[in-house]
């Protein structure tokens, strides 16, 4: 009875679990982002997902290692490639295959599971149906990959566990971590020689020993496109151990046989199915049931696929080829294996195929066959869809119906009042029903093909009809164009008739024009005679003009001879003028060279003075820079000494304080009675230390203030020095002459820029040093504040300890007084050292100011001496320039006088030539006016004669 209650079929509804689980969930498992199943569900549904294909290569066996069989398979896991080495007819012909994932000889069970199977388990929890195949030759590790090694006796999880136990463990780990209730069922079947056997069915002792626990099951359609195995046991499980026991129970019933490669080779296909129902609650409070299914398939060996035992594998290969090539009908019904896995190939299931291969050369042919098979399967596209969630009320209703049905079957079995027939007849009817079902399916296929053919014919008819409609439209357009062409032809004929009429009229006009042309030719002959007469008259006129031109030429020649004579005289006068002018220019050149040498010597003297001034100013400022640098180095040494002494003082003080702290702690442990006196003394010590630190901070502030005052005084003195130098330079510039003002201005500008640059550098160095001193002072202040904070903390802790322990510290007070006395002495010593440092700083400042004043006074005296030398030099240059300028003016006056004399001579020569030219011009103008008047008359007569001829022609043309 218990076995009959567990029966339900693959498509059975969920039943209430034996022990409902509801543990607190700390963190949900996230689905892995690796593998080909991590895309979005909507995208998978729309575009489809390729079947994931994984290849695993086993290592060489002991026998193969002993025989030293060569390895012909190489796996590249990073590039996901498998290379098969082939040598055909002494030619190396390698073949390379690419897959989704590749696992080489040294791969472990965990690696394969984590990368290929783990994402699918998460998809099952989400409500998808997933299938995992193991395909390959016998002895390549299919069963080892799916089942793994044997479980340990102590119940520990083995490291070589296969896909099935690892998937079971992961599913329970995820479900245990969730708060929702769940239910799980498993089934285990075997397919051998096209017979389905339930590996979980109870043994029937009434059957023969040969066929014990091997009851064949029928495969039926569920009316929704799915497949149901009638009578298949589904075990409800609540833990992983139960599944492991069920798995061991089913594996013990599988058909195995010894082969050359494996002593216990599986000779059948096995399908282990895990069905999970999870209860979820909607935000509205309604409860839904989510269902997911995981099919774990261990196929038989792929060798000798033509044999009956592997007929299902042959059909599976044909289905894969058809799906990849998209070539019409897919032969799923040719074997029970393909009918069972129909949804996993091109359906709504997420599928992963694990192809196992051998690296040995003995198995190369079967290895290549497996690789080809897997490579083709990689192109199959599935369209995964999440299972529809069911309402809890609907599930309960279905369960009630199932319970009623089982009760009726149980009652009928107990009462024997049902319809019973012999087993042979029942099997015969089942076979006839199966044949009828297959016949109906073939008829359906033929109807589908006929419907497709009819649809193709209908599409052809529609295309032909559309083509005829297009031809009709083209015919109408052609008729319309023909009508338009005929209308245009009629218009052209009418235009042709009109053109013929116009041609006749034009021929008549041409005949009239020919007559008029004859008359015009006669008139032209008459006009030609008249033109010859006028031409003779014009030739006579030109002879007269030539005579007049000869006379004019003679008069021009006589005038040119006169002008040549006058020009020769002018040339002689010009030669004499040029000679005198050259002498004057030579004298001027001599004077100018003298002036040039004189000015050059003056400029050289000025340049020497400027160089001397530059050298003296450079030496003065270098001396000043030396004094300032010496001053800054002295300041650095002074402050280094002060900081060192302050550090020593603070260090000694800190050591004394630490020593006092240790003594106080020892006294606190020995004497616990005088706690009030100890508190008062500790407070007085703290106040004295705070005062000490305040004094140190005040001294540090004073030193900082002194440094700032020193910096401001140095900057003020330097600015005063710069102002005095600028005033001195400006005074010298105003006193120099205009001729050398530009040179001195450039020199002074360069000097001023140099001085500004040097002073800026001094200021920057002073600022950097003062900044460093300020940093040191700030560090010292930070140190004192840190010590102050530590001391305050210590006093608080000492006070609390003394309040708790209540000890007497009379002997400690004396030691504290001694230490405080030492501290006061050190403070006084530090104050004296600070006073000494201040005094040495003031004395150093006075020394630096005196040295700078001496340098400035020396530079001022040298500049005054140079200014006197420059004034004397400039005066001498001015006197020499005045004398030379006077000589130059006298020579220029002589040259101007010579120019005036030459001009008077030229005017006396040019005036008679000018009168002759005027007379010649007047005579020439008269002749030209006469010639122009005569030519005008001739041209007027010619124009009148031509005008008459043209008017007669126009009149004749107008008349015609």
Q: What is the pLDDT of residues 712-736, one digit of tens each?
A: 776 776 677 667 667 766 676 666 6
Determine the angle formed by the axes of helices 364-377 and 311-325, rounding to 10 degrees: 40
Confirm if 877 and 602 have CB atoms less than 8 A apart.
yes
Query: For the segment 28-57, what is each residue's pLDDT rounded down to a tens digit?
Result: 333 333 333 344 444 445 567 889 999 999
Written as six digits, the tokens of 205 are 């002792």
Is the pLDDT confidence value at 404 over 60? yes
Query: For the segment 522-550, what is each residue's pLDDT rounded down to a tens digit?
Result: 777 777 777 777 777 777 777 777 676 67
Is the pLDDT confidence value at 320 over 70? yes
Tracing tokens 């043209």 back to the chain, one arrives at 950
Is the pLDDT confidence value at 77 over 50? yes
Written as six digits, the tokens of 177 are 């971590």
Residues 681-700, mean pLDDT to the nearest whole number: 63
Among positive and negative, which fits the CA dihedral 847, 852, 855, 856?
A: negative
Q: Measured between alpha carbons, how far is residue 805 from residues 666, 676, 685, 794 in Å? A: 12, 11, 20, 16
pLDDT of residue 670: 61
Confirm if 302 and 319 have CB atoms less than 8 A apart.
no
Residue-averaged pLDDT of the chain: 73
37: part of which helix (H) or strand (E)? none
Task: Map 871-918 to HEC letters.
Answer: HHHHHHHHHHHHHHHHHHHHHHHHHHHHHHHHHHHHHHHHHHHHHHHH
Cβ count near 777 (within 10 Å): 19
Query: Was 687 annotated as part of a binding site?
Result: no
Nearest to 46 by CA among 352, 384, 389: 384
DSSP code for 151: P
Query: For the segment 164-219, what is each residue's pLDDT rounded down to a tens digit?
Result: 999 999 999 999 888 888 899 999 999 888 888 988 887 654 344 444 445 678 78
In angstroms, the CA 948 to CA 960 distance is: 19
* pLDDT class of 101 with cuts at 50, 70, 90: very high
Q: How far is Cα of residue 712 from the mean position of the Cα atoms in its chain?
A: 55
Strand 350-357 to strand 129-136: parallel, antiparallel, or no bridges (unpaired)?
parallel
Out of 64-73, 491-500, 516-525, 911-920, least confident range: 911-920
Strand 95-98 to strand 91-92: parallel, antiparallel, or no bridges (unpaired)?
unpaired
Is the pLDDT confidence value at 599 over 90? no
pLDDT of residue 416: 60
pLDDT of residue 2: 36
| pTM (two decimals) | 0.43
Written as six digits, the tokens of 728 are 């001195």
Query: For the segment 736-762, what is each residue's pLDDT rounded down to a tens digit?
Result: 655 555 665 666 676 667 666 766 766
Largest CA distance in the chain: 174
- Number of C-alpha atoms within 13 angstroms, CB side, residue 732? 26
Tracing tokens 């000779």 back to the chain, one arrives at 267
Which domains does the chain carry?
Answer: 2-26+40-388 (3.40.850.10), 637-850 (no CATH)
In angstroms, the CA 794 to CA 201 distance is: 84
pLDDT of residue 26: 29
Tracing tokens 């006093």 back to the chain, one arrives at 795
Written as six digits, the tokens of 600 are 């050059």
Q: How far is Cα of residue 246 from the mean position of the Cα atoms in its chain?
A: 56
DSSP code for 83: E
Specify the higher pLDDT residue, 271 or 331: 271
Confirm if 97 and 371 have CB atoms less than 8 A apart.
yes
Cβ count near 707 (within 10 Å): 19
* pLDDT class of 252 with cuts at 50, 70, 90: confident
Q: How far apart are the first and last CA of the chain?
A: 138
For residue 104, the cross-strand partners are: none
Residues 310-328, mean pLDDT to the nearest whole number: 82
Written as six digits, the tokens of 14 are 């969920």
Query: Was 12 annotated as part of a binding site?
Result: no
Give alpha helix (H) positions in 189-342: 240-251, 311-325, 336-340
Query: For the segment 129-151, what is each residue's pLDDT rounded down to a tens digit?
Result: 999 989 999 889 898 999 887 77
In angstroms, the CA 342 to CA 687 distance is: 94
Confirm if 643 and 780 have CB atoms less than 8 A apart.
yes
pLDDT of residue 922: 73
Nearest to 627 by CA among 890, 312, 334, 858: 858
Determine the angle formed by the axes of helices 423-670 and 741-805, rounding to 10 degrees: 90
DSSP tally for the chain: helices H, then strands E: 16, 21
Out of 558-567, 581-590, 942-951, least confident range: 942-951
Specify the higher pLDDT residue, 785 or 44: 785
For residue 88, the cross-strand partners are: 91
Confirm if 181 and 174 have CB atoms less than 8 A apart.
no
The helix/strand/coil state of 643 is helix
Written as six digits, the tokens of 864 are 């005054």
Backbone angles phi, psi at 104, to 5 degrees: -85, -165
pLDDT of residue 13: 33
Query: Was 290 annotated as part of a binding site?
Result: no
Nearest to 671 by CA among 813, 811, 807: 807
- The torsion of the CA quartet 57, 59, 61, 66, rounded to 10 degrees, works out to 130
Residues 258-283, mean pLDDT to the nearest whole number: 75
DSSP code for 191: E
Q: Measured between alpha carbons, how far is residue 443 from residues 21, 436, 437, 448 in Å? A: 50, 10, 10, 8
Nearest to 695 by CA among 835, 508, 540, 600: 835
pLDDT of residue 357: 94
Query: Was 137 annotated as part of a binding site?
Result: yes
pLDDT of residue 314: 84
Query: Was 275 annotated as part of a binding site?
Result: no
Query: Was 136 annotated as part of a binding site?
Result: yes
pLDDT of residue 772: 67
DSSP states along 533-593: HHHHHHHHHHHHHHHHHHHHHHHHHHHHHHHHHHHHHHHHHHHHHHHHHHHHHHHHHHHHH
The helix/strand/coil state of 716 is helix
Residues 882-893, mean pLDDT to the nearest whole number: 70
Among positive and negative, which fits the CA dihedral 15, 19, 24, 29?
A: negative
Written as six digits, the tokens of 575 are 């030669």
Nearest to 385 by CA among 358, 354, 346: 346
Which residues 6+ apart lie within 8 Å of 310 measured at CB? Answer: 300, 301, 302, 303, 304
Backbone angles phi, psi at 30, to 5 degrees: -95, 145
pLDDT of residue 951: 60
In angstroms, the CA 805 to CA 205 distance is: 91
Give per-residue burial for 716-738: e unless 16+ CB within 10 Å, then b.
Answer: eebeebeeebeebbeebeeebbe
Specify the higher pLDDT residue, 525 or 674: 525
In angstroms, the CA 49 to CA 43 distance is: 9
* pLDDT class of 82 with cuts at 50, 70, 90: very high
pLDDT of residue 243: 92
Q: How far is Cα of residue 760 from the mean position of the Cα atoms in its chain?
A: 47
Backbone angles phi, psi at 382, to 5 degrees: -100, 160
């Amino acid at each position: 009875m218990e076995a009959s209650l567990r029966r339900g079929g693959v498509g059975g509804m969920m039943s209430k679990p034996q022990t409902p689980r509801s543990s607190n969930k700390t963190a949900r498992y996230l689905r892995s982002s690796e593998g080909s199943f991590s895309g979005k569900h909507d995208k998978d549904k729309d575009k489809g997902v390729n079947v994931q294909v994984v290849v695993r290569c086993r290592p060489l066996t002991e026998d193969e290692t002993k025989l030293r069989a060569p390895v012909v398979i190489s796996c590249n896991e990073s590039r996901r490639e498998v290379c098969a080495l082939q040598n055909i007819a002494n030619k190396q012909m390698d073949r390379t295959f690419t897959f989704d994932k590749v696992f080489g000889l040294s791969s472990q069970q965990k690696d394969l599971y984590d990368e290929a199977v783990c994402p699918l388990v998460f998809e099952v929890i989400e409500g998808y149906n997933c299938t995992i195949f193991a395909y390959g030759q016998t002895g390549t590790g299919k069963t080892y990959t799916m089942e793994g090694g044997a479980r340990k006796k102590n119940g520990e999880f083995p490291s070589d566990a296969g896909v099935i136990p690892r998937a079971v463990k992961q599913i329970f780990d995820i479900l245990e971590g969730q708060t929702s209730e769940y239910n799980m069922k498993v089934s285990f079947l075997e397919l051998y020689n096209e017979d389905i056997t339930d590996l979980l069915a109870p043994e029937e002792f009434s059957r023969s020993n040969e066929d014990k626990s091997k009851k064949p099951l029928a495969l039926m359609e569920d009316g929704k496109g799915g497949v149901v195995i009638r009578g298949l046991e589904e075990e409800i499980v609540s833990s992983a151990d139960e599944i492991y026991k069920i798995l061991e129970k089913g594996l013990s019933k599988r058909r195995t046989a010894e082969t050359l490669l494996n002593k216990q080779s599986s000779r059948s296909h096995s399908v282990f199915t895990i069905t999970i129902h999870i209860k979820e609650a909607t935000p509205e409070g309604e409860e839904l049931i989510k269902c997911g299914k995981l099919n774990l398939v261990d196929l038989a060996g792929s060798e000798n696929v033509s044999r009956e035992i592997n007929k299902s594998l042959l059909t599976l290969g044909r289905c894969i080829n058809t799906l990849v090539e998209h070539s019409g009908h897919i032969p799923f019904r040719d074997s029970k294996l393909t009918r069972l896995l129909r949804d996993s190939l091109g359906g709504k299931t997420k599928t992963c195929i694990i192809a196992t291969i051998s690296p040995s050369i003995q198995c190369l042919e079967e290895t290549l066959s497996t690789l080809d098979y897997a490579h083709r399967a990689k192109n199959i596209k599935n369209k995964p869809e999440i299972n529809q969630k069911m309402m809890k009320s609907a599930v309960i209703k279905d369960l009630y119906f199932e319970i009623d049905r089982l009760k009726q079957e149980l009652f009928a079995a107990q009462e024997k009042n049902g319809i019973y027939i012999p087993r042979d007849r029942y099997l015969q009817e089942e076979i006839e029903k199966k044949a009828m079902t297959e016949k109906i399916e073939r008829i359906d296929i033929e109807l589908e093909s006929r419907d497709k053919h009819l649809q193709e014919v209908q599409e052809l008819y529609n295309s032909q009809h559309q083509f005829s409609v297009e031809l009709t439209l083209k015919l109408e357009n052609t008729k319309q164009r023909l009508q338009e062409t005929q209308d245009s032809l009629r218009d052209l004929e009418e235009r042709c008739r009109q053109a013929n009429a116009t041609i006749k009229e034009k021929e008549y006009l041409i005949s009239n024009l020919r007559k008029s042309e004859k008359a015009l030719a006669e008139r032209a002959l008459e006009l030609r005679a008249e033109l010859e007469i006028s031409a003779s008259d014009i030739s006579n006129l030109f002879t007269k003009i030539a005579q007049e031109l000869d006379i004019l030429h003679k008069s021009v020649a006589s005038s040119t001879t006169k002008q040549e004579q006058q020009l020769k005289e002018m040339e002689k006068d010009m030669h004499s003028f040029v000679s005198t002018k050259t002498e004057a220019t030579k004298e001027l050149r001599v004077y100018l060279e003298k002036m040039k040498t004189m000015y050059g010597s003056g400029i050289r003297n000025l340049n020497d003075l400027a160089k001397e001034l530059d050298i003296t100013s450079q030496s003065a400022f270098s001396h000043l820079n030396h004094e300032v640098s010496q001053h800054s180095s002295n300041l650095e040494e002074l402050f280094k000494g002060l900081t060192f002494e302050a550090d020593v003082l603070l260090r000694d003080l800190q050591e004394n304080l630490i020593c006092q702290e240790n003594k106080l702690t020892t006294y606190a442990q020995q004497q616990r009675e005088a706690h009030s006196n100890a508190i008062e003394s500790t407070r007085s010590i703290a106040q004295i230390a705070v005062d000490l630190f305040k004094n140190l901070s005040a001294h540090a502030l004073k030193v900082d203030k002194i440094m700032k005052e020193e910096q401001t005084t140095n900057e003020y003195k330097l600015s005063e020095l710069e102002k005095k130098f600028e005033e001195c330079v400006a005074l010298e510039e105003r006193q120099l002459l205009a001729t050398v003002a530009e040179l001195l201005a450039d020199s002074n500008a360069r000097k001023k820029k140099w001085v500004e640059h040097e002073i800026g550098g001094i200021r920057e160095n002073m600022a950097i040093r003062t900044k460093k001193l300020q940093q040191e002072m700030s560090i010292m202040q930070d140190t004192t504040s840190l010590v102050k904070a530590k001391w305050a903390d210590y006093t608080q802790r000492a006070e609390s300890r003394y309040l708790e322990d209540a000890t007497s510290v009379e002997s400690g007070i004396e030691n504290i007084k001694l230490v405080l006395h030492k501290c006061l002495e050190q403070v006084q010593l530090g104050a004296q050292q600070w006073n000494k440092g201040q005094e040495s700083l003031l004395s150093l400042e006075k020394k630096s100011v005196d040295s700078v004043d001496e340098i400035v006074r020396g530079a001022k005296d040298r500049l005054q001496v140079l200014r006197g030398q420059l004034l004397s030099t400039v005066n001498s240059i001015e006197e020499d320039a005045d004398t030379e300028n006077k000589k130059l003016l006298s020579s220029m006056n002589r040259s101007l006088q010579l120019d005036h004399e030459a001009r008077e001579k030229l005017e006396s020569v040019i005036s008679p030539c000018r009168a002759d030219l005027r007379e010649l011009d007047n005579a020439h103008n008269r002749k030209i006016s006469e010639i122009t008047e005569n030519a005008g008359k001739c041209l007027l007569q010619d124009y009148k004669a031509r005008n008459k001829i043209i008017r007669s022609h126009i009149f004749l043309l107008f008349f015609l």
